[in-house]
Amino acid sequence: MSVVSTYLKKNRSKHLEELKEILRIPSVSTDPAHKADILEAAKWIEARLGAAGCTRAEIHETGGHPIVYGEWLGAPGAPTILVYGHYDVQPVDPIELWNTGPFEPTERAGKLYARGAADDKGQVLIHVNALEAHLQSNGTCPVNVKFLIEGEEEIGSEHLAPFIKKNRKLLACDAVVVSDTSMFDKKTPSLCTGLRGLCYLQIELTGTKRDLHSGCFGGAVVNPANAMADLISALKGKNGKIKVPGFYDDVVKLTRAERNSLASLPHSDEKYRREIGAPALFGEKGYTTLERVGARPSLDVNGIWSGFTGEGAKTVIPAVAHAKISMRLVPNQSPSKIARLVTDHIKAIAPESVKVKVKNLHGGDAWMASLDHPAIRAAGRAVERAFGKAPVFNREGGSIPIVATFSRVLAAPCILMGIGLPDDALHAPNEKIDLSQFYKGRDAAAYLMEEIARG
């Protein structure tokens, strides 16, 4: 065992306690009521980067939530990695479904439960812990390390892209490293080779100037909630195909090789169905589940509300109906073009009797890795050393919008070495991180530094 892995083993409880500290800060980025918590989380990260051995750690104000930058550049001539992650988290509701408080990190059966445990605070800290382990046990690190930890990932990273463009020199690196995805499963380590993009819209349909008595007026007007239901069901066919004209025009088709590679993964539809508790799976006809999630676009309602939703009955025709819909996109779909196509289509098919407003909330590009890069091979060796098995490659359905920006602006390969698990309950009640994943993840991050240095 190397001195670095010995250090990491010895410091398990120290690193776990530190993770719990940051998990206690409710840094929910979408909610202005948590502004002070966001700042506290940013300061915590800044301080931790310094304590881990970064010779520079600072907060950058951009008008949005603060960006934390840190660096240790004590290995001149060696490669430089840029570790990206986020300290912001998703809202906690429905809060009543949490077994313990979302910001009271609690261990149960080898897992640590808290909002942000896997997405993404636990995964950020594996790299901070890895740098600390190298510096503490060897007095040096085999690569130069930069950190870029933001507070707006969960709301679309609006201020980060301009920051990256303005700070190309500061962020220059040989590889970007991101741990904000999941492994294929606990027994199957993986590297993520593709992410979907996103287009997120909010629709508002207004029927009348006020709510109406459903007896006095029912039958004489279009109910916007009914109209919303019609509209939404018109967006997707029974075969799972999205019915917006032009929607698939730019979609890069799956190659035979990619289909074979996805088909070779140890996936079982039945296991997958049972794990999420669905009576049956459903998706676009002609594609497998892994293809549907990783390589084909999708369209879903994220929220829908109108009229009376309290206890009991109230007879009313609501004046307004709302829905939030998101489209997950694949290479080469453009989020702004898709927003335009879908908005135009919604306006074209909505009945005359409602006023339609569509707001574009945020979006991001899909991304795909080039598999034959030496940095990806280095990551493969690091994962194999930490998890005892060579990783498989998989495409994930989630989005990390800034990854495409990194590839474009910094012209560096991105390594997506996530150590989460598919049942971590991201964005849901009882989010957790598996502690054995956290501990092995620190090893993988430390080995990655060695393997990247090796070339």
8 Å CB contact between 81 and 176: yes
8 Å CB contact between 304 and 222: no
Nearer Cβ to ligand BES (306/399): 399
Q: Is residue 443 a contact point for ligand BES (CB under 6 A)?
A: no
Q: Is residue 396 a contact point for Zn ion (CB under 5 A)?
A: no
Bridge partners, 145 (sequence order): 72, 81
Nearer Cβ to Zn ion (119/132): 119
Nearest alpha-carbon partner for 133 in 407, 443, 402, 427: 443
Nearer Cβ to ligand BES (182/298): 182
CA distances from 293 to 140, 244, 262, 263, 297 (A): 41, 19, 11, 13, 8
Residues 113-132 that bind ligand BES (CB under 6 A): 119-120
Has 258 been annotated as catalytic? Answer: no
Has 88 been annotated as catalytic? Answer: yes
Residue nearest to ligand BES (CB): 398
Nearer Cβ to ligand BES (131/195): 195
The stretch among 12-20, 49-57, 174-182, 235-243 that binds ligand BES (CB under 6 A) is 174-182
Pick one of ligand BES, Zn ion, none as the site partner of residue 291 (Cβ within 5 to 8 A by kind): none
Q: Give least dist CB 4 to ligand BES, A.
A: 27
Cis amide leading into 94 (omega within 30): yes
* Count of residues in the chain: 455
Token code pair at residue 63: 């008008």
Q: Give least dist CB 219 to ligand BES, A.
A: 41
Token code pair at residue 247: 């929607």
Q: Is residue 198 a contact point for ligand BES (CB under 6 A)?
A: yes
- Among residues 88, 119, 132, 258, the one annotated as catalytic is 88
The stretch among 139-147, 223-231, 278-286, 399-407 that binds ligand BES (CB under 6 A) is 399-407
Among 71, 119, 150, 258, binds Zn ion (CB under 5 A): 119
Residues 135-164 that bind ligand BES (CB under 6 A): 153-154, 156
8 Å CB contact between 62 and 151: no
**DSSP string of 378-431, one letter each residue:** HHHHHHHHHHSSPPEEEE-SS--THHHHIIIII---EEE---B-TTS-TTSTT-
Q: Give least dist CB 90 to Zn ion, A.
A: 6
Q: Give least dist CB 426 to Zn ion, A.
A: 6
Cα Rg of the chain (Å, integer)? 23
Residues 313-372 that bind ligand BES (CB under 6 A): 362, 364
8 Å CB contact between 112 and 24: no
CA distances from 417 to 24, 72, 92, 113, 144 (A): 25, 21, 26, 21, 18
Among 66, 142, 151, 401, binds ligand BES (CB under 6 A): 401
Token code pair at residue 391: 């990783």
Nearer Cβ to ligand BES (80/326): 326
Residues forming contacts to Zn ion in the complex (CB under 5 A) are 119
Catalytically active residues, by annotation: 88, 153
